[in-house]
């Protein structure tokens, strides 16, 4: 029982893991945001290209 209590009390490295999880979350959010931005820009350039071809 003492060993289990020691394992749960030991917080070495917990902060590093938390920072790693936060960094991973920020990276995923950035990838999703950049993907959406890329799609929007592609649509905008396609619209401009179509309008230039019509004129």
- What does the domain layout of the chain look like in residue ranges? 1-54
DSSP letters along 7-49, please?
Answer: HHH--TTHHHHHHHHHHHHHHHHHHHHHHHHHHHHHHHHHHHH
**Which tens digit of pLDDT belongs to each residue from 1-55?**
777 776 667 677 778 888 999 999 999 999 999 999 999 999 999 999 999 998 7
How far is it, in rounded angstroms, from Cα 34 to Cα 16? 27
């Amino acid at each position: 029982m003492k060993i289990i209590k020691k394992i749960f009390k030991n917080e070495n490295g917990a902060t590093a893991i938390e920072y790693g999880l936060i960094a991973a979350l920020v990276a995923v959010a950035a990838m999703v945001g950049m993907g959406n931005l890329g799609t929007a820009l592609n649509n905008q350039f396609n619209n401009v290209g179509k309008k230039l071809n019509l004129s």
